[in-house]
Amino acid sequence: MMMNTPLTMTQMIKRAEMFFPKKEVVSRTETGIHTFTYKEIADRTRRLASSLEQLGVNRGDKVGTLAWNHHRHLEAYFAIPCSGAVLHTINIRLSPQHIVYIINHAEDRVLLIDPDLVPLIEKCQDQLKSVEAYVIMSDSMELPETTLSPVYNYEQLLENADANYQYPDDLDENSPAGMCYTSATTGNPKGVIYSHRGIVLHSMAIGMADSVGVSEQDIAMPIVPMFHVNAWGLPFAAVWFGTKLVMPGPYFTPKLIAELIQDEKITITAGVPTIWLGLLKELEENSYDMSSLRGLLCGGSAAPKGIIRAFEEKHKIPFIHAYGMTETSPLAVVANLKSYQKDLPYEEKLDYRAKQGVLVPGLEIKIVSEKGEVSWDGKEMGELCIRGPWIASEYYKDERTADAFQDGWLHTGDVVTIDEEGFVKIVDRTKDLIKSGGEWISSVDIENALMAHEAVFEAAVIGIPDERWQERPLAYIVLHEAYKDNTTKEELLNFLTPQFAKWWIPDDVQFITEIPKSSVGKFLKRELREQYNKQLTEK
Amino acid sequence: MMMNTPLTMTQMIKRAEMFFPKKEVVSRTETGIHTFTYKEIADRTRRLASSLEQLGVNRGDKVGTLAWNHHRHLEAYFAIPCSGAVLHTINIRLSPQHIVYIINHAEDRVLLIDPDLVPLIEKCQDQLKSVEAYVIMSDSMELPETTLSPVYNYEQLLENADANYQYPDDLDENSPAGMCYTSATTGNPKGVIYSHRGIVLHSMAIGMADSVGVSEQDIAMPIVPMFHVNAWGLPFAAVWFGTKLVMPGPYFTPKLIAELIQDEKITITAGVPTIWLGLLKELEENSYDMSSLRGLLCGGSAAPKGIIRAFEEKHKIPFIHAYGMTETSPLAVVANLKSYQKDLPYEEKLDYRAKQGVLVPGLEIKIVSEKGEVSWDGKEMGELCIRGPWIASEYYKDERTADAFQDGWLHTGDVVTIDEEGFVKIVDRTKDLIKSGGEWISSVDIENALMAHEAVFEAAVIGIPDERWQERPLAYIVLHEAYKDNTTKEELLNFLTPQFAKWWIPDDVQFITEIPKSSVGKFLKRELREQYNKQLTEK
């Protein structure tokens, strides 16, 4: 039989240290750009693991991080799970009361905090029930002035740590390695626990040529924050494969992103559509050499065709459209063209590539409507259900588990179609679908169509109550600066008319200055609906 | 936590059927070249599983195959394990008594046999203790005349099978899926059992960009027989990824291989050095379009630099040098250059690429001599030890397990060096190393140097007893036809002199017409040593 060696994360950092000691991690922190070799990172990671042990962290204990994308956060990504503890990456963009909730709910014993985020925690430290130590991840050997207590300096801890610390070799592959909370439509965030096995398999998956093909040859820059689903697993995979990593640090701008891509010769980078919209603007205003890029990995929410086309046709930057969620580690579906689709005309290819794509090897999906599994015709809508070894089986100590996890499948809450080629397309969130005259209207489809109009910067479509039709679509539009005074509702609605059935066309368009967004950059349609209702009552 | 969905092989064939139903398997059989879609292959595979069930095959039962590389063998590759039975691929090149031994030792209940291999089994059927049914994998619906009994026709079985058969969904990932026997230096072959988990993880590994990167974009042709370590796992991975497969069938020639590569636009193909030597000759004699190839995967034994250089410089065909063995599923080490090595001069790159390479993600290695772990200097020799989830933990019901498996590591019996960059280089088999004057001499190094001489077709170097030095090297040489009458021992020894320390130079050279080889094409040095001893006693 085969050996029962477990799929644990220690092998990842060990491989980087043994086989790629000279490869580098370039890290932007509050004081500038710093470069470390994997040999140094591996040494510092061991020291951090030893320090945490000295602070009393035991197997299974949670250690929270409030941090940007930089080398210290990367060290925490390995030191915590490889020593048997659990890496809890805290979304710093949650409301203070949600941050308090998740720290208490996870029972974090230690918090690793970026210097600029210290005030965030100082404000709520009285409410934290389980935290026994605060560690400040500063470039300095000095502690900043702070009310946090007991408080430690990261670099000081490392200096005093045991350089010969050894990771335990008896970790179970099914033991928890990480956790991340995902915001809920209402109520507190819901926690997902990642196992060592799940992280190892997910890392293999994103290294596969048929998914993202992350490799030692890459220079990878995760722009997606490390507090969002482990920066989509890129840091784990990159370290394992000896990939050079570039960490963009705090408060970056589109300009900084463009410069890093150019200067560091980034081959692959990852972020949400909002990031790419910003970069696109920057590329239109200034000129950069982007020729090193082999892919912009885009997920989090659907990228409109217009963005993909602009990057590819105008800037010759290949776009990789993918789909996943906190509950799926996240990679589930990638819009890679099949070999025989490569010769299609560009627009037809774009039709496929603007969908979320084809199932990654290792998972299973089914798409279910009230009538059972939908047909693969690109039309029938159903809820996407996913199963596999890097899919969560529950929310951590949360009664809402029963809503999303049924019969061994994750019910994603995303309404999708699947076409003859097996390309999944997100139509809407189950709760954002608009039900008009007994039929469903996809708000996302209309939004994407609107965002393809040159005047439109952002568009969000919601369903508003209607006596006759039950619900009718209403569009909220943010215009590009240059179009603010010369764009009419009629123009936009006329633009939509040839593209949709008549009853899909929104009844009205409202121009606003900004669409409310969640901490992860997704449109908060719930807030738009609340605004609308408030307007109604105020009238 | 994450779902505990098992890593079983059913997902692989299901993904091909669902997402790549139109993709093809091109299969060369005794009657010509046939094409099947994955939809058809998946249907036929289900039918085969149902037929085996009807023949009384239960979970855990062994089903043997004696077959070349073709679509029916591919169907067996999935039908047998996905139904819970165990695929035992029998090496048809073993001696008849070894074939009898392994069928009896595995307790095969059914044998699937190619028509041309029926006589092989007819001769020994009286000695087979466990076989209850013979199935002949012919293109015809008629059975050939045979003394085998009870005997069935494959296509007939499929026609009468249940098309709605469902694979069991409760297979354990650690249950046996396949098995393969590896020949031993002395005694009977030793069996290795592959688990579902091992096969799934190995398939992911060969799909990774940093190993072989097998993908849907490929057109893959496994030349390495499906009775050698599962054709190195290519058929499993290819089906999973929806890769077009070309199966070269029985009795192919270098000419046929070249034609298939050209006509089918093969992107990746896999075989032992002997195959590539043959292809090289063919390419020198006739002209083919090989431009579709992105890689010739070479393993089984070390490829001399000369072959790699000839393919790459003369024919612009990239060569992928890898290492593994039956016990390692097989992929363990691949000679991919690191990103920063790509700008080295070609000869320096070749120095790395002619080594066996760098550890595949997912495994661990250590290299051990009597003094402990060797230094990474490319000089100190030690035995390669490997550990990981697709490495065998034992030989099936075999006392020789204790020799090779110790302290949780596979001791490969291969003596290697590892350089500063982590490139492993096979120096010799532990038992083929030559110990002269208390120091070790690598027979393989001298062989490779000799094979770089234009006159030399093949070279094998053995250690012969020496009173003073304990052992001394002796070279056996097969010359190219054109050089047979005009090449001297002195010329070859002078050729070696500048390349090695004086005491490494063989004491003598013997010209022979052929080097004895094992069933998998490896030099049988044991036979050379026996020949030498016989000569001695006859003198």
Q: Is residue B411 part of a domain?
A: yes
Secondary structure E strands in B54-124: 62-66, 86-89, 108-113
DSSP B452-473: TSTTEEEEEEEEEEETTTEEEE
A76 to chain B, minimum CA–CA distance in Å?
A: 20
Query: Smallest Cβ distance to A361: which of B1, B240, B387?
Result: B240
Residue B535: predicted pLDDT: 82
Count Cβ atoms below 10 Å from residue A514 Cβ, excluding itself. Answer: 9
SS3 content of chain A, % helix, strand, coil (to 5): 35, 25, 40
At B274, the pLDDT band (50, 70, 90 cuts) reads confident
Task: Provide, as residue numbers in chain A, all residues whose Cβ is less than 8 Å from the Cβ of B338.
Answer: 20, 23, 216, 242
User: CB distance B208–A209 less than 8 Å?
Assistant: yes
Pairs across A and B, CB distance < 8 A:
170
Q: Is residue A306 part of a domain?
A: no
User: CB distance B176–A1 less than 8 Å?
Assistant: yes
Element (H or E) spanning A192, and its range?
A: strand A190-195
Q: Per residue in B351-394, pLDDT tens?
A: 999 999 999 999 999 999 988 999 999 999 999 999 999 999 99
Pairing of strands B151-153, A295-298: unpaired
Q: Per residue in B29-85, pLDDT tens?
A: 999 999 999 999 999 999 999 999 999 999 999 999 999 999 999 999 999 999 999
Residues A112 and A212 in one domain: yes
Residue of A nearest to B16 (CA): A361
User: CB distance B215–A198 less than 8 Å?
Assistant: no
User: Closest by alpha carbon to A403, among A184, A193, A198?
Assistant: A184
Q: Is residue B230 part of a domain?
A: yes
Q: B295-313: string of b/e by CB count within 10 Å (b at 16+)?
A: bbbbbbbbbbbbbbbbbbe
Q: Point out which residues pair with A63 in neighbouring strands.
A: A87, A110
A217 to chain B, minimum CA–CA distance in Å?
A: 5
Residues A210 and A88 in one domain: yes
At B93, the pLDDT band (50, 70, 90 cuts) reads confident
Task: Provide, as residue numbers in chain B, all residues whose Cβ is less than 8 Å from the Cβ of A216.
Answer: 210, 336, 338-339
Q: What DSSP character marks residue B59?
A: T
Residue A538: predicted pLDDT: 75
ipTM for the predicted complex comes to: 0.90
Using CA of residue B156, residue B162, residue B168, residue B169, what is the dihedral sign? positive
Q: How many domains does chain A have?
A: 3
User: Closest by alpha carbon to B44, among B82, B6, B92?
Assistant: B82
Residue of A nearest to B407 (CA): A3
Rounded CA separation A446/A496 (Å):
8
Q: Per residue in B401-448, pLDDT tens?
A: 999 999 999 999 999 999 999 999 998 877 788 888 777 788 888 998
User: CB distance A207–B361 less than 8 Å?
Assistant: yes
Using CA of residue A299, residue A301, residue A302, residue A304, what is the dihedral sign? negative
Residues B39 and B115 in one domain: yes
The CATH number of the domain holding residue A105 is 3.40.50.12780
Task: Provide, as residue numbers in chain A, all residues whose Cβ is less than 8 Å from the Cβ of B410.
Answer: 3
Asked if pLDDT for residue B138 goes beyond 80, the answer is: yes
**CA distance readout (Å), A71 to A154, A155, A228, A415:** 12, 12, 16, 38
Q: Is residue A353 part of a domain?
A: no
User: CB distance A244–B339 less than 8 Å?
Assistant: yes
What the block records as the tokens of A292 is 């090193």
Q: Is the peptide bond before B506 cis (omega within 30 degrees of 0)?
A: no
Percent of chain A with pLDDT over 70: 99
Residues A158 and A27 in one domain: yes
B326 to chain A, minimum CA–CA distance in Å?
A: 12
Last residue of a domain, one of A413, A429, A445: A429
At B185, the pLDDT band (50, 70, 90 cuts) reads low
Q: Is residue B233 part of a domain?
A: yes
What the block records as the tokens of B486 is 């005009």
Q: Is the peptide bond before A389 cis (omega within 30 degrees of 0)?
A: no
Q: Please list the pLDDT of chain A residue by residue as tens digits (539 residues).
A: 999 999 999 999 999 999 999 999 999 999 999 999 999 999 999 999 999 999 999 999 999 999 999 999 999 999 999 999 999 999 998 889 999 999 999 999 999 999 999 999 999 999 999 999 999 999 999 999 999 999 999 999 999 999 999 999 999 999 999 999 998 766 899 999 999 999 999 999 999 999 999 999 999 999 999 999 999 999 999 999 999 999 999 999 999 999 999 999 999 999 998 899 899 999 999 999 999 999 999 998 788 888 999 999 999 999 999 999 999 999 999 999 999 999 999 999 999 999 999 999 999 999 999 889 999 999 999 999 999 999 999 999 999 999 999 999 999 999 999 999 999 999 877 778 888 877 778 888 899 899 989 999 999 999 998 888 888 999 999 999 999 989 999 999 999 998 888 888 999 999 999 999 877 677 888 889 888 888 877 76
Evaluate whether A168 touches A8 at the Cβ level (below 8 Å).
no
Q: Please give the distance of CA A314 from its chain centroid, rounded to a whole number.
A: 26
Q: Is residue B284 part of a domain?
A: no
Query: Smallest Cβ distance to A2: which of B340, B389, B422?
Result: B389
Query: Smallest Cβ distance to B209: which of A207, A359, A392?
Result: A207
Evaluate whether A456 touches A491 at the Cβ level (below 8 Å).
no
A193 to chain B, minimum CA–CA distance in Å?
A: 5
Q: How many residues does chain B have?
A: 539
Residue of B nearest to A421 (CA): B19
User: CB distance A3–B364 less than 8 Å?
Assistant: no
Residue B494: predicted pLDDT: 94
Residues A77 and A208 in one domain: yes
Query: Smallest Cβ distance to A204: which of B193, B336, B362?
Result: B362
Evaluate whether B474 touches B510 at the Cβ level (below 8 Å).
yes
User: CB distance A194–B4 less than 8 Å?
Assistant: no
Residues A154 and A94 in one domain: yes
What the block records as the tokens of B437 is 């004057």
Q: Is residue A296 part of a domain?
A: no
Evaluate whether A222 touches A299 at the Cβ level (below 8 Å).
no
- Phi and psi of B117, rounded to 5°? -100, 0
Residue of B nearest to A339 (CA): B217
Last residue of a domain, one of B227, B252, B277: B252
Task: Provide, as residue numbers in chain A, all residues whose Cβ is less than 8 Å from the Cβ of B23.
Answer: 338-340
Residues B203 and B95 in one domain: yes
User: Closest by alpha carbon to B457, among B511, B527, B505?
Assistant: B511
User: CB distance A205–B205 less than 8 Å?
Assistant: no
Residue A434: predicted pLDDT: 87
What the block records as the tokens of A173 is 């592959």
A140 to chain B, minimum CA–CA distance in Å?
A: 32
Residue B539: predicted pLDDT: 66
HEC letters along A471-539 = EEEEEEEEECHHHCCCCCHHHHHHHHHHHCCHHHCCCEEEECCCCCECCCCCECHHHHHHHHHHHHHHC
Task: Provide, as residue numbers in chain B, all residues whose Cβ is less than 8 Å from the Cβ of A208.
Answer: 204, 207-209, 215
Rounded CA separation A483/A474 (Å):
20
| Amino acid symbol at A184 | A
**CA distance readout (Å), B402 to A372, B229, B386, B399, B406:** 54, 22, 15, 6, 7
Last residue of a domain, one of B252, B267, B293: B252
User: CB distance A19–B358 less than 8 Å?
Assistant: yes
User: Closest by alpha carbon to A322, among A296, A294, A297, A304?
Assistant: A297
User: CB distance B204–A201 less than 8 Å?
Assistant: yes
Evaluate whether A171 touches A196 at the Cβ level (below 8 Å).
yes
What the block records as the tokens of A172 is 């179970």
User: CB distance B174–A4 less than 8 Å?
Assistant: yes
- Which residues of B are catalytic, by number? 182, 327, 435, 440
Residues B422 and B515 in one domain: no
Residues B524 and B387 in one domain: no
CA atoms within 13 A of residue B178's CA, in its CB half-sphere: 32
Q: Per residue in B151-165, pLDDT tens?
A: 999 999 999 999 999
Interface probe for B, chosen from A1, A2, A217 (most Cβ of B below 10 Å), is A2
User: Closest by alpha carbon to A272, among A528, A518, A525?
Assistant: A518
Residues A448 and A531 in one domain: yes
**CA distance readout (Å), A349 to A232, A352, A446, A454, A491:** 25, 5, 20, 22, 28
Residues 6+ apart with CB under 8 A from A170: none
Task: Provide, as residue numbers in chain A, all residues whose Cβ is less than 8 Å from the Cβ of B11.
Answer: 362, 364
Task: Provide, as residue numbers in chain A, all residues whose Cβ is less than 8 Å from the Cβ of B193.
Answer: 1-2
Task: Provide, as residue numbers in chain B, all residues whose Cβ is less than 8 Å from the Cβ of A339.
Answer: 23, 216-217, 244
The CATH number of the domain holding residue A440 is 3.30.300.30
Q: Point out which residues pair with A473 in neighbouring strands.
A: A463
What the block records as the tokens of B200 is 């799934």
User: Closest by alpha carbon to B523, among B478, B472, B470?
Assistant: B478
Pairing of strands B456-466, A32-37: unpaired
| Amino acid symbol at B386 | I
Q: Point out which residues pair with B511 in neighbouring strands.
A: B477
Residues B78 and B186 in one domain: yes
- Phi and psi of A175, rounded to 5°? -80, 155
| Amino acid symbol at B435 | K
Pairing of strands A268-271, A219-222: parallel
* Mean pLDDT over each residue of chain B, to the nearest integer: 94
The CATH number of the domain holding residue A383 is 2.30.38.10
Q: Look up the domain containing B451 and give its range.
A: 434-538
A13 to chain B, minimum CA–CA distance in Å?
A: 11
Rounded CA separation B303/B354 (Å):
7
Element (H or E) spanning A51, and its range?
A: helix A38-54
Q: Is residue A526 part of a domain?
A: yes
Rounded CA separation B458/B421 (Å):
30
A243 to chain B, minimum CA–CA distance in Å?
A: 9
User: CB distance B4–A241 less than 8 Å?
Assistant: no
Residues 6+ apart with CB under 8 A from A346: A313
User: Closest by alpha carbon to A483, among A516, A454, A451?
Assistant: A454
A19 to chain B, minimum CA–CA distance in Å?
A: 5
Residues B423 and B466 in one domain: no
Q: How many residues does chain A have?
A: 539
- Which residues of A are catalytic, by number? 182, 327, 435, 440
Query: Smallest Cβ distance to B390: which of A2, A213, A215?
Result: A2
Rounded CA separation A225/A231 (Å):
5
HEC letters along B243-260 = CEEEECCCCCCHHHHHHH
